[in-house]
Chains A and B, each alone.
Chain A
Amino acid sequence: MALGTSPAASAIDIAGGAPPVSAAPDAFVASRGFWGNVLAKLLRDPVAMTAAFVILAIVAIALLSPWITPMDPYRGSMLRRLKPVGDATYILGSDELGRDMLSRLMVGGRLSLFIGVTPVILAFVLGSGIGILAGYVGGWVNTVLMRTIDVFFAFPSVLLAIALSGALGAGVFNSIVSLTCVFTPQIARVAESVTTQIRSRDYVDAARLSGASTLTILRAQVLGNVLGPIFVYSTSLISVSMILASGLSFLGLGVKPPEPEWGLMLNTLRTAIYVNPMVAALPGLAIFIVSISFNLFSDGLRSAMEVKA
């Protein structure tokens, strides 16, 4: 109430213009349990379901690519370079070395997804560990861990990723290591703040008074309550991670040629934008589709799990 800037604000206490509070208790879903509830809500969210379908389809194509690509993604032909989209042989055209774009995009998805998703999984494990430890133990452990984390927040994500992989050198492994270093502090901060809130709840005190050991409390009372929000936050990072990982390859810091990877393909095709712009833009479109799908799915998951941003 006191937050208004108008002096008249506190004088009258009626919610004239405020929308009526919609009271629609989901009484019928109470018996499904938390995850059943989340799934039911997700299934009713057309945007999130479309995004999930797109992600699953792209993952399936990428995984099955060694068997289903129409052509050899590594074999080029100097005579058939930069064929346009819609070519009789090359449906999505051919690249600067005459290799089939469709096949390379299909196979390229494997590495792009791998280098984009792996850092978030690793950071989820590491960040949750650090954050839950700091939040649950508190005291000087919390101070030391969280102040160290603060240092990493002093670097914009892109700068930190490039600084680390620039120093470590190019390669898939190094790019995964640098991106893990970028996302771990972010996840740890969320984990710490959620754990600190949970730690002071009455049921944790009750468990402690009943004689439960720290490990039991962590497993039974804390983990179940903190992993949800941390998980939702982590899924929102996948989109950024995909863009950054392919960005590192785009700069020449990630995957090395001739391995097909979307970011690297985008880089090598840059010279072709005057000859065959459609083909040159295709790998970026693939990154965009995956990235936006992960973002939309994460948004759906967030509202299904009722986690505040």
Chain B
Amino acid sequence: MLSFILQRLLTVTPVALGVSIVCFLLVHLAPGDPLSAVLPVDATQETIDAMRTTYGYDKPMPVQYLIWLWKVLHGDLGTSIATGRPVLSEVGRAVVNSLILASVATLIGFTFGCLFGFVAGYFRDSVLDRAASAVSVFGVSVPHYWLGMVLVIVFSAQLGWLPSTGAGPDGSGNWRPDLEHLRYIILPAITMSVIPMGVIARTVRALVGDILSQDFVGALRAKGLSEFGVFKHVVKNAAPTALAIMGLQLGYLLGGSILIETVFAWPGTGFLLNAAIFQRDLPLLQGAILVLAMFFVALNLIVDVVQTALDPRIERG
């Protein structure tokens, strides 16, 4: 198992390096001088040159990249232009909020996705199957930012049951696990859960159909096992893939939360990214994207390892 983990780590390293190159190049992709946001409009050529040297922009690109990478590896993601605070601490605070929201959403999505998927897979071509399939098509087709707005319209504007924006009553930037804060997470989490729900329902339906048509299920029934006993075998066979999809969905939600976080003014990484884009705070943009992408790479690795550990059918090596 250890050698398998080491081997996976080796294959992930070039991908992680590639991700860092893309993030590094993002700043240079931006139109205009990367310094234009820091420099005053009337800066003299000498000031510009001096700044260029200070920030290292006078060096060749590969050298700039290596210097940047060295700093990143030591936890230095630079300083936010807008706030003057270190990017790492800004991103760190936001990531916690995003992670809470994405985890709750994944949990909701996984629970209902599995429910619909199992029902649809077990009762193929029945009314239940069609209903469950409709829910899953809805989940993958609905523009989630619009769904968020509709939920706000119904539950905040019309009924007045739940708050429409923010993470808590005090307007503070941090979500806490208490009853008052719980009311704030309900709408964004439900909005977000629709995507993994659709994807998981679709996958589980196909998985269950596949497993049920295998010979061993017939054998189990033939030896007189109860339907619940058969069901347990189906769950056991479907679990590794379903869990893997859940892990990946968590990563997609974390990286793709910007639209939903914007709708609900949720103080997470998406909200931070939005601010960084419109203030043209390039170091913050770069740092936030690097952290999120690396998180996704790490999550992929974990899913891979856990799935292999859970499922003896997957060859290691």
Contacts and interface: CB of A to CB of B under 8 A. Distances in A.
Interface residues of A, number: 61
Interface stretch (B60-68, B74-82, B104-112, B143-151): B143-151
B221 A17 contact: yes
Contact of B285 (A14, A167, A250, A299): A167
Contacts of A9: 215-216, 219-220
Interface stretch (B36-44, B83-91, B176-184, B269-277): B269-277
Contacts of A246: 143
B3 interface: no
A152 to B, nearest CB: 8
A163 B289 contact: yes
A18 B273 contact: no
Given A17-B217, A17-B218, A158 B256 contact: yes
Contact of A5 (B21, B27, B233): B233
A28 interface: no
Contact of B259 (A1, A150, A250, A270): A250
B101 interface: no
B138 interface: yes
A292 B138 contact: yes
A18 B19 contact: no
Interface in B253-271: 254-256, 258-259, 262-263
A295 B277 contact: no
A12 interface: yes
Nearest to A287: B143
A251 B274 contact: yes
A137 to B, nearest CB: 21
Contacts of B278: 252
Given A18-B217, A162-B277, A274-B157, A280 B149 contact: yes
Contact of B218 (A18, A159, A285, A288): A18
B285 A163 contact: yes
Interface in A96-120: none
A151 B15 contact: yes
Contacts of A251: 258-259, 262, 274, 277
A40 B176 CA distance: 57
Looking at chain A's contact residues, the main secondary structure is helix
B252 interface: yes
Interface in B151-188: 152-153, 157-158
Contacts of A11: 219
B289 A4 contact: no
A5 B220 CA distance: 10
A165 to B, nearest CB: 8
Interface in B9-59: 14-16, 18-19, 21-23, 26-27, 29-31
Interface in A256-309: 266, 270, 273-274, 277, 280-281, 283-285, 287-288, 291-292, 295-296, 299, 309
A156 B270 CA distance: 13
A1 B101 CA distance: 41
A152 B255 CA distance: 13
A167 B19 contact: no
B267 to A, nearest CB: 17
Given A162-B273, A239-B141, A281 B218 contact: no
Contacts of A291: 141-143
B126 interface: no
A162 B222 contact: no
Interface in A14-38: 14-19
19 contacts: A1-B214, A4-B237, A5-B237, A6-B216, A9-B216, A17-B217, A18-B217, A152-B22, A158-B255, A159-B293, A163-B26, A169-B31, A251-B277, A274-B157, A280-B149, A284-B143, A287-B143, A292-B142, A309-B206
Q: Which 8 A-B pairs give the minimum distances between C-beta atoms?
A: A284-B146, A4-B216, A151-B18, A158-B256, A156-B255, A9-B216, A159-B255, A292-B141
